[in-house]
Amino acid sequence: MMSTMWNSLSTLPSYSRSLEEVLLIFRPTSETFEGMAAELERFAWLDLVAKLQELFPSLRTITLGVGYYVSNNEDFVPYLAALRRVPGLRQLEEKGTVLLHMIPWRTCGLVRPLFKY
């Protein structure tokens, strides 16, 4: 899936290289809340940020969104905590380079426009 994303982004026209903001939404695939938090913590976030900055030199803000299901009473706090444990990611958040958003979904694939931090 990541290679497909990189291929798609690399084929954008040259004027898109001036892109200043990007939002990427992720959803862990593990079957338990603990597994999903661990999956987020293991992901190569700093590599992702570096590749995006290389691909889009004007990029100022990268928003990393993580979807969670409010209909299942899913708690987003462990996911946010897992992201902030990733070495270096918290520092990028403090600089404003990376924004972390938890995105509540009522059902699969439907995003509510409200963000929670």
The bridge status of strand 21-26 relative to strand 61-69 is parallel
H-run or E-run covering 52: helix 45-55
Q: What is the pLDDT at residue 31?
A: 85
The single-letter DSSP state of residue 15 is G
* Predicted model pTM: 0.79
- Residue 1 has what pLDDT? 66
Q: 96 to each of 2, 21, 28, 74, how far by Cα in Å?
A: 24, 12, 24, 27
Residue 6 — very low, low, confident or very high, per pLDDT cuts 50/70/90? confident
Alpha-carbon span 74 to 88, nearest angstrom? 26
Is a pLDDT exceeding 70 seen at residue 45?
Answer: yes
What is the share, in percent, of the chain residues with pLDDT greater than 90? 44
Helix (H, G, I), strand (E, B) or coil at 96: coil
Q: How confident is the model at residue 33 (pLDDT cuts 50, 70, 90)?
A: confident
Residues 58-100: pLDDT tens digits?
999 999 999 888 877 778 889 999 999 999 999 999 999 999 9
Which comes out higher in pLDDT, residue 10 or 39? 39
